[in-house]
Amino acid sequence: MTYTENLWLFFSLLFGIVIVPGVDMIFVLANALTHGRSAGLFATAGIIVGSLVHSLFAALGVGLFASLMPVLFRPLLIVGALYMAWIGFTLMRSSITVDQVRATDARSNGEAFRRGIVSCLMNPKAYLFMLAVYPQFLRPDFGPLAPQAAVMAAMTAATLLFAYGGLSVAAGRAREVLVGNGTATIWVGRAAGLLLILVSLVTLWEGVSGSIR
């Protein structure tokens, strides 16, 4: 797999995961509906900052394994792929629906921004997910890890801005889609789960066959 193909695969997986309804998405929508478009955009900015912290955490973890314990990098890759496959299987079996979007009591755009950061950082599953996903795409065989991590962090921020920013701009219509169409949200979750499983299988093949240097 080339570096360009690797980035496209990462983007496909990233986009699939971002559009699955979850705590961060509902937080942005609640702010946009309660306090207007700008509050939703500030909440989005806070979540983006939180995601950058997650990205830094994951990149440092992968970098430590790759430099200090390179012999453990392949096992980390395989374990991460198995964990990612389990997440995908769980998503495919789940029925993700959004029953309601409650009002938020944030009093200003600044507060929406700060709460967005906290909302993102307080999710322990996000850390585990990042450690499972990043080793699949942040590879020593593609060169120095820092530039790779920077590109992936930028892609993550841009995808969140596109998805959640768009949600803020079209809050009313987005609420109708999320709350009023349970079937659509269920199939979005299942599609994301299938993506996770497919990517994990590719990684397992590369890891077991020894194509990762």
Could you report the per-residue pLDDT of 122-136, keeping only the tens digit for each? 877 677 777 778 778
Q: Is the dihedral of CA 124, 183, 197, 155 positive or negative?
A: negative
The pTM for the full model equals 0.79
- Buried b or exposed e, range 14-32, using 16+ CB within 10 angstroms: bebbbbbbbebbbbbbbbb
Per-residue pLDDT tens digits for 18-57:
887 777 888 888 888 888 888 889 999 999 999 999 888 8
Q: Which residues contact 169 (CB under 8 A, 6 or more apart)?
A: 37, 40, 41
The answer, yes or no, to whether residue 148 has pLDDT greater than 80, is yes
Rg for the chain, CA atoms, rounded: 18
Domains of the chain by residue range:
3-209
CA distance linking residue 36 with residue 188, whole number of Å: 26
